[in-house]
């Protein structure tokens, strides 16, 4: 396996931004087609999920939540599933702002072996900003072998006067 360097991560991040933008543009049309894939880097996985949540009810009610659940790791699904229970998590004040956000900034993934952390900043329709930290792991068993999947998401508290930025 090739070691991951800062330069390779930067190049991968640039490619990720392009792929995430492409997925954002086509997610509405091809939602059923987007599945975990070994080609997606951690920040791509997070970008796909967050863009889907940003348009949660397109093309059908809670489509974004359903897509997000597809990218939840098997261990995450064990604790948060089934889908109906996972959907209820988004009524929690910590996660509700993720739905239908108006601005999204996905930070650079920090990868250590088979674990990754990806920060995200969103702006809600009322103008407030929230920061989340996604924890992902590289799966070692089929059917998700070598796919990055989300283990957990934590809301990060920020002071109201702070202007969060990820870059």
- pLDDT tens readout for residues 38-91: 999 999 999 999 999 999 999 999 999 999 999 999 999 999 999 999 999 999
Domain boundaries 6-156, corresponding CATH code: 3.10.450.100
Output the pTM of the full model: 0.78
Residue 164 banded pLDDT, cuts 50, 70, 90: low
pLDDT at res. 132:
97
CA–CA gap between residue 105 and residue 32 (Å, rounded): 24
Buried b (16+ CB within 10 A) or exposed e, 58-82: eeeebbbbbbbbbbbbeebbeebee
Domain ranges across the chain: 6-156
């Amino acid at each position: 396996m090739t070691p991951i360097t800062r330069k390779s991560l930067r190049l991968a991040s640039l490619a990720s931004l392009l792929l995430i933008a492409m997925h954002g543009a086509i997610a509405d049309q091809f939602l059923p087609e987007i599945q975990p894939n070994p080609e997606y880097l951690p920040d791509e996985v997070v970008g796909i999920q967050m863009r889907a949540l940003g348009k949660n009810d397109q093309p059908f009610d809670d489509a974004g939540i359903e897509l997000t659940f597809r990218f939840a790791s098997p261990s995450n699904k064990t604790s948060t599933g089934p889908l109906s229970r996972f959907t209820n998590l988004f009524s929690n004040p910590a996660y509700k702002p993720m739905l239908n956000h108006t601005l999204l900034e996905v930070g650079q993934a920090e990868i250590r072996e088979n674990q990754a952390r990806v920060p995200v900043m969103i702006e809600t329709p009322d103008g407030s900003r929230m920061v989340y930290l996604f924890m992902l792991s590289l799966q070692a068993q089929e059917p998700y072998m070598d796919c990055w999947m989300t283990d957990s998401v934590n809301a990060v508290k920020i002071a109201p006067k702070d202007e969060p930025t990820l870059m």
